Chains A and B, each alone.
Chain A
Amino acid sequence: MKKLCWLFLTLLLAILVLGACSSDDSQSSGSSDSGNNDGSEDEDVVTLTFWNRYPELRGGFANLIEQFEAEHPGIKIESQEAPEPETQLRTALSENNLPDMWTNIVELSELVEVDAVKNLDEIFTDEVKAQFVDGTWFENGTTADGSVYGFPLASPRSKAFIMYYNKDVFDMLGLTEADIPTTWEEFREVGQRIIDESNGAIYPTVWNNANWANEQMAAMMGSAITPEVPWQENYKTGEPQVLTEGKIETAKFLKELLDEGLMAPQSIEIGLGEAEATFAVGQAAFYWSGDWVGRQFHVVQEFDNWGVAPMPTKDGNPYYYRAGSEATSIQVSNHTEHWEEVKTFLEYSLEHLHETVYVDTGAGLPAKKDVGGEPPFEQYFDILELENELSIPVPKPEEFNPAVVEFNRDWRGKLEVGGIGDAIVGYLTGNIDDLEGEIGKIDQAMKDAFYETLEENPDVSQDDYIYPNWVPFEPYTVDMYDELR
């Protein structure tokens, strides 16, 4: 009994101590979350909260914030990483507890509809807007009804997948730049050579089998075969389309690489970081990914002996990715209690962010034109050149008819599956044999939802999705919408 009493008392004491610690923590974070002035020591300091969901921008933002705080001692910015960004933001939104600023995740139109996001026209005058790359300003991305709601971060002409090659592996196996494959057949040949000459110790390539990565890969490599479908819509027929020859062929190519041992077997289940590490340590000669990976190699893997080239395609034809696929941007809470301080930060960022966060770290390509700074690795400019070539503006029905924003949300809201990425995951892992059948079902479901919603919505017609003046691989410019009106 005595023992039990002691045990109980000890437990109680431990709970009290732990409780005291946690209550301290929650107090400090609670006050910062609300964006109020902190404690008695920093009575004059205003704390702004900022949620960032892009891991590759972490270091750059830390530098930017440090510089900003040094110049503005009255403002403190608490940056928080968001591992489940959408869940986190939606929860904060429903609790009316949004941070002062965050990087985009929830569709802009949804946020504008509930008045959650601040209009930034005050900062982004026409003169300021002109300082940004063409294609930066688009509906449901950075703007809504012509007003600016997002501080643009990355260039719209970015995020196209490119091929990284490991120069250490090339040197070791006696390969030169002339051996960089441009077709799938050439890739198989050089791949076999890599396996033979390394006695199977080095895989030709490594991949990360995430649904989004497969979806993008199928769209990009597939565009060399079916160029009229840049993503999930065919802008010639004016309807959703995910069952294309290009996408199917690409998925089959990936599967063959895996089955033939030309792709590292762990590719089917590892994440981005592990795939990058596999390449950086020389276990794979090639790696296909986006423009942000250079920074990851340099900072995370501390590996700089690599080069970049376009990915191989079926017959060596060029491929492309739709520019402005995502409006990487900072959004501001419409209910921030510290708009003046946020504005000060955004104005400072206008001058310094793109240089500090993008160029100086090599984390990607900035949305602003003529930005200074010194990239930490020399391949940065090669990536820039490739992205400009591969990331091409395509028609955006939202620009042609703003009613499409809501219409897209409506018909996509009827879908059970949002894309073909998971189907390709299933195919690569051997869980799906009939890929065409599976993608065919998704394709049909998309078409059904599209036409059904079209009947319900008189403000949108199928013509909003048909662009006869669009030629794949040629940038679709703003004035081309006017030709169709």
Chain B
Amino acid sequence: MAKNMEIEQKTEVNSRPKVKSRLRTHKKKKAIWAYIFLAPQIIIFFVFSLYPIIMSYVYSFYNWTGIGPLDEFVGFENYAQLLSQPRFWNSALVSIYYIVGTTVLGVGVALILAIILNDQKLKGKGLYRTIYFLPVVTTTAIVGIIMGSIFGINGFVNQLLLTFNIVDRPIPWLTNGPLAIIILIVIGSWKGLGINMIYWLAGLQSIPNELYESAQLDGAGFWRTLRHITLPLLKPIAAVIILLSLVSGINAFDLVKTLTGGGPNFATETMDLFIYNFAFSAQLGGGQVRMGYASAAGVLLGLFTFVISMVFGAASFTKEIAKIRGDKKKKGGVKA
């Protein structure tokens, strides 16, 4: 018996390292498989994201047309020239108008729609949601072309206004600079309305029903509930939605290119279109293609996006971060 126990103990002792090594091999195998599955994504990220980003920084220091060797190093000349050119600043301003406009309008209207569609008594919610979501899945370039014919001088909107004698002459929606920017903002907001609405709905549905029921029992009406329950509880998701909307507003290229082409006289040229025009298609307009210069603009656009994300992200999450820090301190205090 004692012998048996001894043998068992020995076997146990011997088998421990074996189990450990098995576990190690198993873990290793698992890790290898994980890396194998991650590899395509990592390769794609390096080739199509990281490499172009790094190269755009490199190109920005050269006078280069995109063809031939990089042999004319110009240092920060491209940046200096960019910052001194009114056309660049105009495009930055147009981008800011568009970003702010689509965020205020798109996110705001989407919230109102989401609140309406979140009402449990409303019938046909699915249909409405589908209708509002349709523009999201429509190709932006197609939207631009169709909207061009709707808001054109002889387009549907002007025909309607003329038929009902609301105006004497057609309104140049797309050829008057400020009006064209407004139209771009309206269409851009409409295009992103569906996705923002879905985000808001997700936020609204995460609010516990009990809170509304208690508020109702306490005699709170719609507005008070909205002000004291819905909106405060939506704050965290609001920060995310606004941030996403701001960042997506930076990529307005396809809509602007197809709707106004950046005209008239660069009045609606956003930063991404400015980059495209200098990188690829300046010769038809009588200019020269300047890939280095366009890359410098691209770098500035990247920094601009980064700054917006950081500033807004920090501003939105300051309270949350402070709260987390406070909680941690409290916990630390209790332990002590």
**Does B283 lie within 8 Å of A107, measured CB to CB?**
yes
- Assess whether A268 is in contact with B287, with CB atoms less than 8 Å apart: no
User: Could you say which of B67, B85, B172 contacts A416, with CB atoms under 8 Å apart?
Assistant: B85
Which one of B103-111, B132-140, B261-269 contacts A? B261-269
Contact present for A90 and B172 (CB under 8 Å): no
Q: What is the bound-complex CA distance between A427 and B286, given in angstroms?
A: 18
- Separation of A432 and B263 alpha carbons in the complex (Å): 12
Given A93-B67, A431-B264: A106 touches B283 (CB 8 Å cut-off): yes
- Given the interface pairs A90-B66, A114-B68, A429-B264, the reply to whether A84 lies near B285 with Cβ below 8 Å is no
| Known contacts A90-B67, A116-B67, A426-B264; A268/B283 CB under 8 A | no
Cβ of A87: which chain B residues have Cβ within 8 Å of it?
A: 280-281
Residue pair A431, B87 in contact (C-beta under 8 Å):
no
A268 and B153 form a contact (CB under 8 A): yes
Q: Is the CB of B169 within 8 A of A211?
A: no
Does residue B154 face the partner (Cβ distance < 8 Å to A)? yes
Asked if B267 contacts A431 (CB within 8 A), the reply is: yes
A212 at the interface (CB under 8 A from B): yes
Q: Which of A138-146, A184-192, A417-425 contacts B (4 or more CB under 8 A)?
A: A417-425
Contact A418:B267 (CB < 8 A) given known A106-B67, A268-B153, A269-B174: no
| Complex contact B283–A413 (CB within 8 A) | no
Chain B residues with CB under 8 A of A269: 152-153, 172, 174-175
Residues of A within 8 A of B280 (CB): 84, 86-87, 90-91
Bound form: Cα–Cα A105–B285 in Å: 12
Q: Do A413 and B63 touch across chains, with their CB atoms under 8 A apart?
A: yes
B168 to chain A, nearest CB (A): 12
Is residue A94 contacting chain B, with contact meaning CB distance below 8 A?
A: yes
B residues within 8 A CB of A416? 85-88
Is A215 close to B, CB under 8 A? yes
Which of under 10, 10 to 19, 20 to 34, or 35 or more describes the interface residues of B? 35 or more
Q: Chain B residue with minimal CB distance to A445? A: B85
Q: How far is the CB of B120 from chain A (nearest CB, A)?
A: 22
Question: Is A265 an interface residue, CB under 8 A from the partner?
Answer: yes
Distance (Å) between the CB of A452 and the closest chain B CB? 12
What's the nearest-Cβ distance from chain B to residue A141, in Å?
A: 14
Which positions 116-156 of chain B face chain A at CB distance < 8 Å? Answer: 152-154
A window 58-108: CB within 8 A of B: 84, 86-87, 90-91, 93-94, 105-107
Cβ contact within 8 Å between A429 and B287: no
A86 near B172 with CB under 8 A, answer no
Nearest Cβ in chain B — how far from A200, in angstroms?
A: 13
Question: Considering the complex, which residues of chain B in the window 147-195 have a beta carbon less than 8 Å from any beta carbon of chain A?
Answer: 152-154, 169-170, 172, 174-177
A421 near B286 with CB under 8 A, answer yes
Contact (Cβ within 8 A) B263 A417: no
A426 interface neighbour in B85, B267, B289, Cβ under 8 Å? B267
Q: Is A110 an interface position by the 8 A CB rule?
A: yes
- CB of B23 within 8 A of chain A? no
Q: A86-B284, A419-B285 are in contact. Are A113 and B67 (CB under 8 A)?
A: yes
Q: How many residues of A contact B (CB 8 A)?
A: 45
A87 to B285, CA, bound (A): 13
Asked if A34 is at the interface (CB within 8 A of a chain B CB), the reply is: no
Q: Which of B57-112 contact A (CB under 8 A)?
A: 63, 65-68, 81, 85-88
Give the shortest distance, in Å, between B143 (CB) and chain A (any CB): 18
Is A111 an interface position by the 8 A CB rule? yes
Residues on the B chain within 8 Å of A343, using CB: none
Do A418 and B288 contact each other (CB < 8 Å), given the known contacts A265-B170, A266-B152?
Answer: yes
> How many angstroms between the C-alpha atoms of A266 and B169 in the bound complex?
11
Confirm or deny: A298 has a beta carbon within 8 angstroms of a beta carbon on chain B.
no
Decide if B285 touches A418 in the complex (CB within 8 Å).
yes
A431: chain B residues within 8 A (beta carbon): 175-177, 264-265, 267
Looking across the interface, which residue of chain A has its beta carbon closest to that of B81?
A: A414
Cβ–Cβ < 8 Å partners of B281 in chain A:
84, 86-87
**Least CB distance, B182 to chain A, in whole angstroms:** 14
Shortest B282–chain A CB gap in Å is: 6
Residues of B within 8 A of A114 (CB): 67-68
Please tell me if A415 contacts chain B, counting CB pairs below 8 Å.
yes
Chain A residues within an 8 Å CB radius of B264:
268, 422, 425-426, 428-429, 431
Please give, as numbers and ranges, the residues of chain B lying within 8 Å of A84 by CB-CB distance.
280-281
B212-251, CB < 8 A from A: none
Considering the chains assembled together, what is the distance between the CA atoms of A215 and B265 in angstroms? 13
**A430 interface residue per 8 A CB criterion:** yes
| Highest count of chain B CB atoms <10 Å: which of A93, A268, A422 | A422
B281 nearest CB neighbor, chain A only: A86
Q: List chain B residues, Cβ under 8 A from A429.
A: 172, 175-176, 263-265
If A114-B68, A268-B153 touch, whether A90 touches B289 (CB-CB below 8 Å) is yes
Q: Answer yes or no: A335 CB below 8 A from chain B CBs.
A: no
Roughly how many angstroms separate A415 CA and B293 CA in the complex, as a whole number?
11
Residue of B nearest to A420 (CB): B286
Neighbouring B residues of A418 by C-beta, 8 Å: 282, 285-288
Contacting pair A426 B265 (CB below 8 A): yes
Among A263-289, those with CB < 8 Å from B are: 265-266, 268-270
Q: What's the nearest-Cβ distance from chain B to residue A244, in Å? A: 16
- A252 contacts the other chain (CB 8 A): no
- Tell me how far the C-beta of A155 lies from the nearest C-beta in chain B, rounded to whole angstroms: 21
Cα A323 to Cα B142 with chains together (Å): 39
A338 in the interface (beta carbon within 8 A):
no
Binding site for A on B (CB under 8 A): 63, 65-68, 81, 85-88, 152-154, 169-170, 172, 174-177, 263-267, 280-290
A residues with a Cβ closer than 8 A to B are 84, 86-87, 90-91, 93-94, 105-107, 110-111, 113-114, 116, 209, 211-212, 215, 232, 265-266, 268-270, 409, 412-419, 421-423, 425-432
Could you show 27 A-B contacts with beta carbons less than 8 Å apart?
A86-B280, A86-B283, A91-B280, A93-B67, A105-B283, A107-B283, A113-B67, A212-B286, A265-B169, A266-B153, A269-B153, A415-B287, A415-B288, A416-B86, A416-B88, A417-B287, A418-B285, A419-B285, A421-B285, A425-B263, A427-B265, A428-B264, A429-B172, A429-B175, A430-B175, A431-B265, A431-B267
- With A422-B266, A431-B264 given, name 8 new contacts (CB 8 A): A90-B280, A113-B68, A268-B172, A269-B172, A269-B174, A270-B153, A418-B282, A429-B176
